[in-house]
Amino acid sequence: MATSAVTHLPASFYQPFLSQISKLRKPSPIRGLYPLENKPGVISLLAGKPNSAMFPITSLNFTVAPTTAPEYAQSIATGTPLPQGQNKPIEVTGADLQAGLQYGATAGLPRLLEWLHGLQEKSHGRSKGEGWRISVGAGSQDLIYKAVNALLNPGDTILVESPVYAGVIPMFQTLKCEQVEVPTDASGIRSQDLRTIFSSWPSDKPKPKVLYTVPYGCNPTGMTAAEDRRREVIELSREHNFLILEDDPYFYLYFGDAPRPPSYFHLEKVIPSQDGSPNVGRVLRFDSFSKIVSAGMRMGFVSGPATLLDAIDLHTGTANLQSSSLVQSILLALVESWGYDGFDAHIRSVSAFYRAKRDVFQAAMQENMEGLAEWTAPEAGMFFWFKLLLKPTTGAAADEDEDEGDSSDLVRTKAYENGVLALPGTVFLPNGRKTAYVRASFSLLDEDDVREALKRLREVVKQERGEA
Ligand SMILES: Cc1ncc(COP(=O)(O)O)c(C=O)c1O
Ligand 1: distance of its center to the CA of 140 in Å? 6
Residues listed for the chain: 468
Q: Residue 141 CA: which ligand 1 atom is closest?
A: 11
The pLDDT value recorded for residue 394 is 52
Q: What is the pLDDT of residues 380-413, one digit of tens each?
A: 999 999 999 997 555 444 444 457 889 999 999 9
Q: Is 181 helix (H, G, I), strand (E, B) or coil?
A: strand
Ligand 1: distance of its center to the CA of 141 in Å? 6
Ligand 1: distance of its center to the CA of 222 in Å? 13
Determine the average pLDDT of the residues in 14-36: 90
Site to probe by mutation for ligand 1, drawn from 135, 136, 140 as the one with most ligand atoms within 8 Å of Cβ, is 140
Region of poorest pLDDT, from 5-14, 196-205, 303-312:
5-14
DSSP state of 263: P
The pLDDT value recorded for residue 399 is 47
Q: Residue 142 CA: which ligand 1 atom is closest?
A: 11
Determine the average pLDDT of the residues in 62-74: 90
Cα–Cα distance measured from residue 286 to residue 116, given in angstroms and rounded to the nearest whole number: 12
Ligand 1: distance of its center to the CA of 428 in Å? 14
Cα–Cα distance measured from residue 233 to residue 239, given in angstroms and rounded to the nearest whole number: 10
The pLDDT value recorded for residue 370 is 97
The pLDDT value recorded for residue 1 is 44
The pLDDT value recorded for residue 107 is 97
The pLDDT value recorded for residue 35 is 80
The pLDDT value recorded for residue 400 is 45
Determine the average pLDDT of the residues in 262-280: 93
Q: Report the mean per-residue pLDDT for the chain.
A: 94
Helix axes 191-199, 227-239, angle to 10 degrees: 20
Pocket of ligand 1 (CB under 6 A): 139-141, 165, 167, 214, 219, 247, 249, 288, 290, 295, 300
For residue 124, pLDDT beyond 50: yes
Domains parsed from the chain with CATH numbers: 11-48+104-323 (3.40.640.10), 351-393+403-464 (3.90.1150.10)
Q: In which element (H, E) is residue 143 found?
A: helix 139-151
Ligand 1: distance of its center to the CA of 185 in Å? 21
Region of poorest pLDDT, from 98-112, 344-358, 396-410, 415-429:
396-410
Q: Residue 247 CA: which ligand 1 atom is closest?
A: 3
Strand duo 383-388 + 437-441: pairing: antiparallel
Helix axes 325-369, 110-124, angle to 10 degrees: 40
Q: Residue 289 CA: which ligand 1 atom is closest?
A: 10
Ligand 1: distance of its center to the CA of 64 in Å? 24
Determine the average pLDDT of the residues in 131-154: 98
Region of poorest pLDDT, from 242-246, 387-391, 415-419:
387-391
Cα–Cα distance measured from residue 319 to residue 168, given in angstroms and rounded to the nearest whole number: 19
Ligand 1: distance of its center to the CA of 249 in Å? 6
Q: What is the pLDDT of residues 36-61, one digit of tens each?
A: 888 999 999 888 889 999 999 999 99
Determine the average pLDDT of the residues in 175-203: 97
Please, which pLDDT band fits residue 91 given cuts at 50, 70 and 90?
very high
Cα–Cα distance measured from residue 210 to residue 22, given in angstroms and rounded to the nearest whole number: 15
For residue 62, pLDDT beyond 90: yes
Site to probe by mutation for ligand 1, drawn from 288, 293, 423, 441 as the one with most ligand atoms within 8 Å of Cβ, is 288
